[in-house]
A and B are shown apart, each in its own frame.
Chain A
Amino acid sequence: MKIDVNGKSVDLEKQFTISELLKKMEVKMPDMVSVELNGKIIRKDQYDEMVVKDGDKVEFLYFMGGGNGFFRRTD
Chain B
Amino acid sequence: MDFSGEQIERYSRQIILKEVGGEGQKKLLDSKVLVVGAGGLGSPVLLYLAAAGVGRLGVVDGDKVDLTNLQRQVIHFTGDVDKPKTDSAKEKLIQLNPDVRIDTYDFRLTSENIREIVRKYDFVIDGTDNFPAKYLINDACYFEGKPFSHAGVLRFDGQTITVLPGESACYRCVFPTPPPRGVVPTCSQAGILGVVAGVIGLVQATEAIKYLLGIGDLLTDTLLTYNALTMTFRRVSVRKNEDCPICGRKPEITELKDQELPLCDLE
Contacts and interface: CB of A to CB of B under 8 A. Distances in A.
B16 interface: no
Give the bracket for the number of chain A residues in contact with chain B. Answer: 20 to 34
A14 interface: no
Contacts of A71: 154, 179, 183-185, 189-190
A7 to B, nearest CB: 6
B266 A66 contact: no
B241 interface: yes
A12 interface: no
B180 A31 contact: yes
B114 interface: no
Interface residues of B, number: 46
B40 A67 contact: yes
A7 B223 CA distance: 13
A70 B262 contact: yes
Interface string A49-75: 000000000010111111111111100
A57 to B, nearest CB: 9
Contacts of A70: 130-131, 184-185, 187, 190, 262, 264
Interface stretch (B22-30, B90-98, B168-176, B211-219): B168-176
Tell me the dominant secondary structure on chain A's binding face. loop
Contacts of B129: 65-69
Nearest to A31: B183
A68 B155 CA distance: 10
B179 A41 contact: no
Given A41-B176, A70-B131, A63 B187 contact: no
Nearest to B264: A70
B207 interface: no
A61 B40 contact: no
A61 B72 CA distance: 24
A71 B234 CA distance: 22
B175 A61 contact: yes
15 contacts: A29-B183, A32-B179, A32-B183, A36-B174, A65-B130, A65-B134, A65-B154, A66-B39, A67-B39, A68-B130, A69-B187, A70-B131, A70-B187, A70-B264, A73-B157
